[in-house]
Amino acid sequence: VFILETEKIPVMRGQWFIDGTWQPLEEEESNLIEQEHLNRFKGQQLQESFDMEVSKPVDGKEAIHSLKLSRNHVDWHSVDEVYLYSDATTSKIARTVTQKLGFSKASSSGTRLHRGYVEEATLEDKPPQTSHIVFVVHGIGQKMDQGRIIKNTAMMRDTARKVEEKYFSNLATHVEFLPVEWRSKLTLDGDTVDSITPDKVRGLRDMLNSSAMDIMYYTSPLYRDELVKGLQQELNRLYTLFCSRNPEFEEKGGKVSIVSHSLGCVITYDIMTGWNPVRLYEQLLQKEEEELEDRWMSYEEQRLLEELYITKQRLREIEERLHGLKASTISKPPVLKFKVENFFCMGSPLAVFLALRGIRPGNSGSQDHILPRTICNRLLNIFHPTDPVAYRLEPLILKHYSNISPVQIHWYNTTNPLPYEHMKPSFLNPTKEATSVPDSDSASAAPSPTTSPVMVRRHYGESITNIGKASILGAASIGKGLGGMLFSRFGRSSTTPQTLEPGKDGAEGEDKKAMTLGTPPLPHSSSGFLEPTVELEHRIDFELREGLVESRYWSAVTSHTAYWSSLDIALFLLTFMYKQDQEETDKSNLDTI
């Protein structure tokens, strides 16, 4: 149970309950009654089953034991017939009058007590087994509100419970969300930044110091390691604590996923991959050495350069021997004590950091290009279309995916949604790369002054005007790579605006030119979907759908922090985490049939 230091809530076990309402007695009175009950009746046989009919008053039966409390007293008529009476003056008078009228003491003013709750506990009366734990990692701004990640995780957990009850109630397993608060334990620069902050507009400056400053800390070589170690140690501590309280979790193959937000995505990624700026520095030095070899230099420069190479090689050999000796005496523990099954990024700037580190698109559609599957089985990037902090990851693996729409996350209440792995890629913006046409082709791609503008709908409903017919059809003449073929194919699909029909012959002529260059045609369909020759093994970018009455300008302010209570995201997360359990359940049902 995670409780804020400022909001401590005691958790107590109820022992004695009031008949009818089944409300627990106050803790102090309950403890006194329990102690007296055990001293007097310990070892005596209770009724075999809990019978609600025994709540009838015991008329004429004398009390066999009594206990005086501060404002009440308790009478035991038997081991399971216990009544509470008020000793207030008005209660005593009422009790005396009713007894003279022939009513019993219990029926007139007594309150029946029960030891234990109305429902008996059974072996099946326990929460479902936790088969999957999800660590929820916060981003910037935690210093400003230290309890925020706990509140956000609680919102995500509550939302996930609703989804579980509606869609996954047939599964016997359970997903648990655990907050990871790593920022408050760090010292960093102490109060140095606060001491140099001017007093004017102090509130705004303090807010920036408590939020955006985390990004500067992480890019600082002095404090970066402290942030990484802070999150790494907290993840391992929580995992060890959870396993100690749930010893069967590892034995039964429990899985671990991570949901990170904002800057937390970058730190989590660096922990999993072991990325370090020193490695990037070494790569830059190696590149400089290769550039030196290519240029002309004097004999003296060559001799000194050879000596430098020999010295560096000798230094590397000594370092390797030293590391080998250390490794033989001290076994280095893994960075994380668990393997990550799914890494969910929400509102993540990770793609920008990777791009600035030199990651460029490749020719393979494997996730291994940015995150090896031996480290993490599945990477999923979730973002709102107006989130100003979020960036796409797929174009860093295959460049042409910059022109392919992210996968749209299903609405929570969608009936029979199409599984995500069956959703085909579709165009995002067919004219996006028209501005990057090589100079040699610029003449053929230039719009004609006499051409009327064409309206092209973008993915988010925006309109691009002043694009002439020739600028769209001329893109087909590029014929160099996938981008040109995408535009050419799109120009011939049934979704092409009607204003292009007069230029049909011209479009066919351009297609013939493109085909003569030997570029294979890209499989396509009139629905706007495409089937590229190189596809991703799994889609990575997933986009929330915009609301019908949603203001984009307001969403740009609120969308970055709106992920926690989204039912759509909760269903999305559980869909991937319950995927294997759901498949096994469906398979067992088919086998039974």
In the predicted model, is pLDDT for residue 374 greater than 90?
yes
Lowest mean pLDDT segment, chosen from 248-257, 432-441, 541-550 = 432-441
Q: How many CB atoms lie within 10 A of CB 365?
A: 17
- Beta carbons of 365 and 535 less than 8 angstroms apart: yes
Burial (CB count within 10 angstroms: exposed 0-12, middle 13-18, buried 19+), residue 197: middle
pLDDT of residue 487: 36
Strand partners, 257: 134
Output 295 or 349, whichever has higher pLDDT: 349
pLDDT in tens, 459-485: 333 333 333 333 333 333 333 333 443
Beta bridge partners of 344: 259, 380
Across 117-131, 188-202, 217-231, 461-475, which has the greatest mean pLDDT?
217-231
User: Residue 359, Cβ neighbours under 10 Å: how many?
Assistant: 15
Where is pLDDT greater, at 282 or 344?
Answer: 344
Judge whether 308 and 300 are in contact, CB under 8 Å.
Answer: no
- Number of helices followed by number of strands (H, E) in the chain: 20, 14
Burial 314-340 (b: 16+ CB within 10 A, else e): eeeeeeeeeeeeeeeeeeeeeebebeb
Q: Which helix (H) or strand (E) holds 108?
A: helix 105-109
- Ordered by start, the domain boundaries in the chain are 1-41+59-126
Q: Given this model, what pLDDT does residue 353 score?
A: 94
**pLDDT band at residue 242 using 50, 70 and 90 as cut-offs:** very high
Mean pLDDT, residues 129-151:
86
pLDDT at 70 over 90: no
According to the model, what pLDDT value does residue 293 have?
62
Tokens of 331: 């076994």
pLDDT at 520: 39
CB 185 within 8 A of CB 230: yes
Q: What confidence score (pLDDT) does residue 438 get?
A: 44
pLDDT band with cut points at 50, 70 and 90 for residue 117 = confident
What pLDDT, on the 0 to 100 scale, is given for residue 443?
Answer: 38
What average pLDDT does the structure give for the chain?
Answer: 75
359 falls in which pLDDT band (50, 70, 90)?
very high
Residue 109 confidence (pLDDT): 64
Poorest-confidence range of 67-76, 248-257, 393-402?
67-76
207 — pLDDT class (breaks 50, 70, 90) = confident
Angstrom distance (rounded) from CA 314 to CA 40: 85
More confident residue, 498 or 117: 117
| Residue pLDDT, tens place only, 486-520 | 333 333 333 333 333 333 344 344 443 433 333 33
Per-residue model confidence (pLDDT) at position 467 = 34
Model confidence over 293-340: pLDDT tens digits? 666 677 787 788 788 888 888 888 888 888 777 655 544 556 899 999
Given this model, what pLDDT does residue 291 score?
A: 63
pLDDT(529) > 60:
no
Report, as an integer, the average pLDDT of 531-544. 86
pLDDT interval class at 195 (50, 70, 90): confident
Confidence band, pLDDT 50/70/90 cuts, at residue 564: very high
CA distance 382 to 363: 24
Burial of 243 (0-12, 13-18, 19+ CB in 10 A): middle
Q: Name the percent of the chain lying above pLDDT 70.
A: 67
Asked if residues 421 and 459 have their Cβ atoms less than 8 Å apart, the reply is: no
Task: Classify 71 as helix, strand or coil.
Answer: coil
251-275 pLDDT per residue, tens: 989 999 999 999 999 999 999 998 8
Tokens at 553, concatenated: 């300008």
Amino acid making up residue 107: S
pLDDT category, 237, cuts 50, 70, 90? very high
Residues taking part in catalysis: 262
The pLDDT of 540-545, averaged and rounded, is 95
* pLDDT at residue 191 is higher than 70: yes
- Is pLDDT above 50 for 527? no
**Burial degree of 405 (CB within 10 A; 0-12, 13-18, 19+):** middle
Task: Quote the pTM value.
Answer: 0.64
Res. 7 pLDDT band, cuts 50 70 90? low
